[in-house]
Structure 1
């Protein structure tokens, strides 16, 4: 009986020790997994000010959806220090604020319209930042081509030349090439890394540069001469794009001035005749007239933007 009691106590103690060890291993592994997921999903868990990311739980759930992955790719192309969760939360807050402001200042009918305008403005904000980053990257393409040509002429491999260009060039070219260099360092092929770069920052100039590098890497051709010729071509296209953008600046300003005039007219009418917007949108005919007028302003904005859009 004494031996049985001792055996039972020993087995119980052993189970307790194994249970504690297993619980410790589980909690530490779970913490390491969460830290790895956060590090891989967020480009930098802390911002420049050292604060933690906001809406972390909402961000993790959003990234699992198709819409979240689409937002994540778009944010990666803009270079903004925002997570998809932060962007969507700020957008929803802005939509609610615009809804309340339009309902109180103008009329309750304009609340949903202002909310839709807030969603459009948030998407336009991302597209504008993306286009701005692409333009800045295109402006650095001649320098990228020149640095790669000099590095390959000195006998360096193309992978090494990309890493050296990432260290020498400023943002956004330096950041994007650093991403390509990091992908190459972990075993991704040069074709996949450069193709992802061209997909992230779509432009004809970058597609030409990427195609030149990929074909030269596959066929083993003369990379230096190809990059030299490409540098001259990119310089000419850069000057052409600058001239076209200067010529179309007035047209682009007119496109944004047209809807601004409409909003200003509504505010002026409401100030001159208090309650006029409530009476106007209180009937079905007035609501239809407002929707049609807004549609015409949107149509004019889109038409002017399409006319002024010139592919080079």
Structure 2
């Protein structure tokens, strides 16, 4: 009966965490629903006083977080991180979600272990979960952008050879590309329409997308604008360089697959083995989590495993 109650509590907590994650990080659907609802309300009727007061309270809470918790430097750093990840939320909303994940992680560890001592462990894990998610989305978005970059340059070169200017070539890229390339090129064109120069717009793009291939392209464009020359020919050479680097990176990834898999096995094997032993004989391994010496050994093993995992990742990471 106790395991059934614990399972129901864990399942309910998982549903709560999933709903919060969808509300905050599935920004496209969330934005579309909000816009549709706003348009419907604007066309039909106004908000009720009760609903309006609730929205005001939520806005005041996020504003209080921004003023009391976020410094100017931290706020700008979070904006850059969220922008690179393609997550359309505000820094104060990210902080609020981080607090919820911290409380939920600590509560789950207390429910699972039955000891308040493990609340800080779960709270720390929950605190870093939003950052891990955002960092993962940033890496995925950057990888997808790098995959689209050669096609984008090919489209731009074709447009310039047809007689278009560089801004017109970017407009062609926007019409034929998908996200995230389309979103970033739209931002570049929008900044140029608002009065920014091509140099300023491209430097802003380089700040939003920390790609080495993109940096190579931007430097080539800026140098060409200063010294002159045929930009289409320059971009063709950039395309060849990017394709060669991509080919080498894929070869390196294939050759280092065994080492990376070894790092994953070394990192997960102690956790899986401890879980299996707990299922077979809970009292046998439970001593590690009740005795002081056992806790010290568990902490030392965790630190050693983490160090070994990162050392193997460092050895198998080759910069090209």
TM-score tier (shorter): 0.7 to 0.9
Counterpart for residue 89 of structure 1: 96
Counterpart for residue 75 of structure 2: 68
SS of residue matched to 1:311 = coil
Task: Summarize the alignment of residues 187-206 of structure 1 with structure 2, pairs less than 5 Å apart.
Answer: 187-206=195-214
Task: Summarize the alignment of residues 288-307 of structure 1 with structure 2, pairs less than 5 Å apart.
Answer: 288-307=296-315
- Give the structure with higher Rg (CA): 1
* Paired residues of 1:184 and 1:193 also in contact (CA < 8 A): yes
Counterpart for residue 232 of structure 1: 240
Q: Give 1:169's match in structure 2, choosing from 172, 177, 181.
A: 177
Superposition CA RMSD, Å: 2.9
> 1: CA distance between counterparts of 2:126 and 2:316?
24
Deviations for 1:194-239, whole angstroms, at most 9, x for unmatched residues? 1121122212211110101111123332111111121222222222
Give how far 1:105 is off: 2.1
Q: Tell me which protein shows more helix as a share of its residues.
A: 2
Deviations for 1:261-283, whole angstroms, at most 9, x for unmatched residues? 33333333433444666653444
> Do the aligned partners of residues 46 and 124 (structure 1) sit closer, same or farther apart at CA in structure 2, a change above 3 Å counting?
closer
Aligned pair count reads: 270
Q: Give 1:109's match in structure 2, choosing from 117, 123, 134.
A: 117
TM-score by length of 2: 0.74
SS of residue matched to 1:150 = helix
Counterpart for residue 168 of structure 2: 160
Give how far 1:242 is off: 2.6
Structure scoring higher RCO (CA < 8 A, sep ≥ 6) equals: 1
Gaps of 5+ in 2: 1-26, 39-54
* Paired residues of 1:142 and 1:235 also in contact (CA < 8 A): yes
* Paired residues of 1:95 and 1:114 also in contact (CA < 8 A): yes
TM-score by length of 1: 0.76
> 2: CA distance between counterparts of 1:159 and 1:116?
47
Gaps of 5+ in 1: 1-42
Deviations for 1:7-26, whole angstroms, at most 9, x for unmatched residues? xxxxxxxxxxxxxxxxxxxx
